Amino acid sequence: MVNTRRPKRNAGAPARDPTPVKPASKVPPKAAAKPAEDKASGKKVRVWWAPTKDKKRSGYSGMYWPATFVKKGAADMIHVKYDNGEAEEVDMEAVAPADVPMEFGAESSRLDVGEFCEVFNNSATDPAAWVGRVAKVNKKTYQVEYPFHDAEAELIKEELIRRARVWVESENSWKFVKPFQTWPDGEVTNPWELQLVSEKELKKALKEGGTPSPPVPAPAPEKKKEAPKKAPAPPPPAPALAPPAPAVSAAVVATPTPPAAAPPATAPTTAVPPVAKPPAKRGRPKKTEEQKAEDAAKKRARKAEEEAMAAVLAAAPPAAPAMPQMPTMPGLGIMPGGTPANMQALQGLLSAPNMLPLLQGLMAAQSARPPVHTPAAPAMGMSMPMAQMQPIAAPMAPKTVPTPPEAIHIPPLPAPEEEEEPLVESVVEEDEAEEEEEGKKKKRKKKVLPLIQVPKKARSAYILFSMDFRKKVPANTDFNEATRQAAALWKDADEATRKKFEEMANVEREEHAKKQSEYLEKKKVLDAKLAARIARQQAHTAAVKAHEEAKMKQLELNAAYHRACAMAGGGAPPGAQGP
């Protein structure tokens, strides 16, 4: 529901168009809605409050306020008295007739997108109407935006809306505001400055739709004189082919060369126009320069190790096919077992020509590999009782027995939630059948309404009088004519008639106040039950989450313990697998 007072906009800011989707087009101001200068004192009028820099009035701008004509002031000023008792001297151009020939919610046809409308604030003591524009048409509501007020678009009921009409004194008739009009901020301050049309022209404009004005072409930028292009430099001579690399020697393999540093990046000599950054994509994060250099070093070390291993395997004599194989040190692949026959074959492998430099190069390549964060493996001893060889490996590290992990307290899994009964019973209403736009299939829409509903607001005395009058009007009477007659009779009604309908309105207000209090009490109980249910659901979810997290942590500790036991050899002892 539209509030009587809207939030104040920023001080000094003009009225904004919330959705300026079309280019602005200047529209020459039309005839203003001026009242006659010889108005009788006491006649009802409407005062337009335009957008202003005054902080006290900025929250009430962009709307019509009902008032009573008191007297004419100096120049083009008029003294008026508002319905709330305040008096003011206003400009004659801001005063419009109050007898608009259409009530709110009584339009014979629905409004379309782009039409200007008036929105009733539904206040019995201080009624007023904002001027808005329809942004979206729903089944029983409208999405309305406010071009004369800094407020967000709102969802307004159909019974609180009518088309915006402006009284043109020179033509002595009511005009409509042409739809699909936009303007820059602060250029238009009231509806009669826009283009006004008749009812026939309004229908034609809605049928044609919005036609935006062509944008003003921007001036072409001045072309800068380009410097004469230089002739491209000749390509550098191709480097001479390097001689083939010699075989891997002991000196070269034993001392691996560090990776060459990447050449520093040089800025381009020619200026490059700035290019907009592409939008960030989901995926792996980009690596830094340090990470790229580290990856390159790992690749070079791995390649050197593979080349050294390939040289060892190429120079080794063929092994016996019946020799059992067993894994040893990581990186050395498969080596013979520890049987006497295997030891003899290993000695033959080491005694092969040029094998010692190759093995030393392999060990150097493995030592140059970047460290890997994995459990350490026992070193391989290759000390042999041979006169012509020296030990080329470190002594074997002592075997350590892993410690079993401690048991983690795993909270018990809570019992599953029981299905609770609904807090509020519902009523299912079938809506009228509607046709879909694409398939033209009829279907029934069902609405689920709670039994605890917000009570409807009470009607005013004028609304009750108008409804009673329409029952007595002949059926063939024009709707607009009946509206004018009802408004005229209500203005000329005596005190007894007004008192009668005021009493009826007071009765409805009392009933509404009673229903409102009952509704608030029921809603308070319902909110408490709903909050308790949400708290129970959150507690159950937290307990399940704690149980799963503790369980996963225990499984990770057990897996790490088994890996450590496998690296130490022999596997985990029985009964020590952890809880």
* 280-329 pLDDT tens trace: 444 456 678 888 888 898 888 888 878 877 776 666 555 544 444 444 44
Residue type, 11: A
pLDDT band at 447 (very low <50, low <70, confident <90, very high): low
Phi-psi region of 114 (alpha: psi -120 to 50; beta: other; left: phi over 0): left
Q: Please name the residue that has the structure tokens 């909110």.
A: 527
Cα 65 to Cα 83: distance, rounded to the nearest angstrom: 8
CB-based contact 550:410 (threshold 8 Å)? yes
Q: Is residue 514 very low, low, confident or very high in pLDDT (cuts 50, 70, 90)?
A: very high
Claim to verify: residue 203 and residue 85 sit in the same structural domain: yes
pLDDT at 107: 93
Query: Would you state the pLDDT for residue 20?
Result: 40
Phi, psi of 147 (to 5 degrees): -75, -20
Run of H or E including 308? helix 289-315
Domain assignment present for residue 558? The answer is yes
The stretch 423-444 carries a mean pLDDT of 53
Residue 58's pLDDT band (boundaries 50, 70, 90)?
A: low
Which tokens belong to 113? 């997108």
Residue 396, pLDDT above cutoff 90: no
Number of domains in the chain: 3
Identify the pLDDT of residue 51. 83
DSSP assigned state of 57: T
Q: How confident is the model at residue 265 (pLDDT cuts 50, 70, 90)?
A: very low
Q: According to the model, what pLDDT value does residue 93 have?
A: 85
Distance CA 446, CA 430 (A): 5
Whether the CB-CB separation of 93 and 145 falls below 8 Å is answered with no
The answer to whether residue 341 sits within a structural domain is yes
Closest CA to 163 of 203, 123, 132, 127: 132
Among the listed ranges 110-119, 393-402, 464-473, 501-510, which one has the minimum average pLDDT value? 393-402
Confidence of residue 343 (pLDDT cuts 50, 70, 90): low
**pLDDT for position 120:** 92
For helices 461-472 and 479-491, angle between their N-to-C axes, nearest 10 degrees: 130
Domain boundary among 208, 238, 268: 208
What is the arithmetic mean of pLDDT over 511-526?
Answer: 89
| 532 has pLDDT over 80 | yes
Q: What pLDDT does residue 419 have?
A: 67
Question: Is 537 a member of any domain?
Answer: yes
Tell me: do 182 and 86 sit in the same domain: yes
CA angle 450, 454, 456 (to 5 degrees): 130
Percent share of the chain, pLDDT over 90: 15
> Quick check: is 290 in a domain?
no
Token pair recorded at residue 541: 């979810």
* 572: pLDDT strictly greater than 90: no
Residue 209: what pLDDT? 80
Residue 54: what pLDDT?
72
Domain for residue 282, yes or no? no
User: Which pLDDT does position 264 carry in this prediction?
Assistant: 47
**Both tokens assigned to 274:** 């700035």
At 351 the pLDDT is: 59
Sequence-separated (6 or more) residues with CB below 8 Å from residue 156:
2, 119, 132, 141, 142, 143, 144
Instruction: Tell me the residue range of the domain where 359 lies.
Output: 295-319+332-367
Q: What is the pLDDT of residues 89-109, one digit of tens each?
A: 888 888 889 889 999 999 999
Torsion angle of C-alpha atoms 334, 338, 341, 345, degrees rounded to 10: 50
Residue 12 lies inside a defined structural domain of this protein? no
Q: Is the pLDDT of residue 260 over 90?
A: no
Please, are residues 33 and 23 in contact by the beta-carbon 8 Å criterion? no
Residue % of the chain over a pLDDT of 70: 55
**φ/ψ of residue 162, rounded to 5:** -145, 165
Residue 445 DSSP one-character state: -
User: In this structure, what DSSP letter does residue 532 have?
Assistant: H
pLDDT, average across residues 109-137 = 90
Same domain, 199 and 300: no
Rounded Cα distance, 506 and 518, in Å: 19
How far is C-alpha 398 from the geometric centre of its chain's CA atoms? 60
- Cα dihedral across residues 316, 321, 325, 330: positive or negative: positive
Mean pLDDT lowest among 23-37, 293-307, 419-433: 23-37
User: Which amino acid type is present at position 209?
Assistant: G
pLDDT digits (tens, 9 = 90+) for 457-507: 888 988 988 888 888 888 888 888 888 888 988 888 898 988 999 999 999
Q: What is the mean pLDDT of residues 214-235?
A: 47
- The pLDDT score that the predictor gives to residue 41 is 72
pLDDT value of position 335: 47
- Of the listed ranges 23-32, 297-306, 339-348, the least confidently predicted one is 23-32
Candidates 98, 103, 101; CA nearest to 159 is: 103
Domain assignment present for residue 546? The answer is: yes
pLDDT higher than 90, residue 441: no
Q: What is the Cα gyration radius of the chain?
A: 45
More confidently predicted of 176 and 258: 176
Contact (Cβ atoms closer than 8 angstroms) between residue 568 and residue 401: yes
| Average pLDDT of the residues of the chain | 71
In a domain, 148, yes or no: yes
Residue where a domain stops, chosen among 193, 208, 223: 208
Nearest-angstrom CA–CA distance, 167 and 169 = 6
> Which one of 150, 175, 208 terminates a domain?
208
